[in-house]
Chain A
């Protein structure tokens, strides 16, 4: 069976190459996997992205927090990486695994006299008492693709579902899964990988079919 089938051009990137692309992306732009409120990230740099603190009444300066994750490792259908119970990889899907680190600046508010000191501390450049948790995350997602008759096009990874392991009670796990799913999907959906880059610049391709996930690859068919 030919690669091109009924088309003139075939292009594919396997999961190893896709992971190399993701690694290159997050190595070059580490701020895309590290976000923190000003107590952690005073200003956006290449390394980290400043986000607002979580405003809350009675907490001067808001709740300082930071979230970061390791570069996701993606497995394209068909499944080759193990998944926790409750997740399975279906045709057209990818799975990912990463480790999320969630940190908060745990400010101890003492009394009225101490309030000024607490406020000063909350606005200070260094956090008081940071507590962090690292959570192993597995996710399932799909491709969000677009292409045009001119040959332009891009692929984005969208996260549909996240599974955390060893979190109790289940309700807390569900809440965390929801938060982390939103964050991971938000981050990954901002990464638009052009089709030209995904075929390393080889040949012109006006997409007629795909890009789609199949045989551990993202593949596309079309004409010159």
Chain B
């Protein structure tokens, strides 16, 4: 079979795939989740950097220390009615001569909902085994590496400070509530402390995991109807060849190599 072959050693694969990882468009996601007793909505953006490539025959690309740098805007409201007893002025009735019995209505005060948006960000790291995926899609050959196994996420050191950030964002609006503000701020701090890092990572993990587990890193993309030479004047049109088949594999000899083979015909 007429064949073109290209191979990358691990050093070359590190360069090529690191660039490919950085070229993956930023991902974003919105939704809501539970952070302790709070229901929070979020919008998160993430992009990928780094990683150390290990080629494992016959078809695995292992990336250690794959980093996802993320920024999140977390919005949640604290409904004070959930925390504080309802405060009502009871109905009072008096008898007025010539008028009769007059009653005031029962007046209940609703506690406000304190809304807060907290922007923060950090990075999360994982190691992943990627498989090689070759497909002809819309007339274009694509070789991608696709996550098969993902290790547990390792949150960066900045994650520990996120609870403090949330507390710092919530405390000021609570403190302005007359009489009970300091009490509420203290209560929220206690709640956040109870949530702890475990609760926070339990909240962030399901949000960020799909970013990594769905990651596809492009390795090769060319039209099946491959332009070999561009037109060169009116009598020399474009020259094309057909890329009939593409294969990708990891070969092991005295070193591991990512090997692409491309079968062509006129």
List chain A positions with a Cβ less than 8 A from chain B.
1-4, 7-14, 16-17, 19-21, 23-25, 27-29, 31-32, 44-46, 49, 193-194, 197-205, 217, 223-224
- CB B220 to nearest CB in A, in angstroms, measures 6
Q: Which of B222, B236, B243 has the most CB of A within 10 A?
A: B236
- Report the separation of the CA atoms of residues A16 and B264 in the bound assembly, to the nearest whole angstrom: 9
User: Do A200 and B4 form a contact, CB below 8 Å, given A2-B254, A9-B12, A20-B265?
Assistant: yes
B259 beta carbon closer than 8 Å to chain A:
yes
Q: Which residue of A lies closest to B227 (CB)?
A: A197
B255 touches A2 (CB 8 A): yes
For residue B228, CB closer than 8 A to chain A, the reply is yes
A32 → chain B closest CB, angstroms: 8
Distance of A91 Cα from B240 Cα, bound (Å): 30
Determine which residue in B15, B262, B264 has the highest number of CB atoms from chain A within 10 A of its CB, and name it: B264
| Distance to closest chain B CB from A53 (angstroms) | 20
Give the contacting residue for A200; candidates B16, B254, B264; CB below 8 A: B264
Q: Which residues of A contact B255 (CB under 8 A)?
A: 2, 4
CB < 8 Å: which of B1, B6, B237, B254 contacts A10?
B6
The CA of A193 and the CA of B222, in the complex, are separated in Å by: 18
Contact between chains at B6 and A20 (CB < 8 Å): no
Chain B residues with a Cβ under 8 A of chain A: 1-9, 11-12, 15-16, 220, 222, 226, 228-229, 235-241, 243, 251, 253-255, 257, 259-260, 262, 264-266
B145 to chain A, nearest CB (A): 14
Closest to A202 in B: B6
Given contacts A1-B253, A7-B9, A197-B228, 11 further A-B contacts (CB under 8 A): A2-B251, A4-B8, A10-B257, A11-B4, A11-B6, A17-B264, A20-B265, A193-B229, A202-B6, A203-B6, A203-B8
CB closest chain-A residue, reference B239: A28
Chain A residues near B5 (CB-CB < 8 A): 3, 10-14, 217
Chain B residue contacts of A10, Cβ below 8 A: 5-7, 257
List 29 A-B pairs, Cβ < 8 Å: A2-B253, A3-B5, A3-B253, A4-B8, A4-B257, A8-B12, A9-B8, A11-B5, A12-B6, A16-B2, A19-B2, A20-B2, A20-B241, A20-B264, A21-B241, A24-B228, A27-B266, A28-B237, A29-B237, A46-B235, A46-B236, A46-B237, A49-B235, A193-B229, A194-B229, A197-B226, A199-B6, A224-B8, A224-B16
Chain A residues, CB < 8 A from B237: 28-29, 46
Q: Which residues of chain B are near A3, meaning CB under 8 Å? A: 5, 7, 251, 253, 257, 259
In the complex the two chains form, is A202's CB within 8 Å of B235's CB? no
Q: Which one of A19, A200, A205 lies within 8 Å of B222 (CB-CB)?
A: A200
The complex places the Cα of A66 from the Cα of B6 at a distance, in Å, of 41
A20–B243 Cα gap in the complex (Å)? Answer: 11
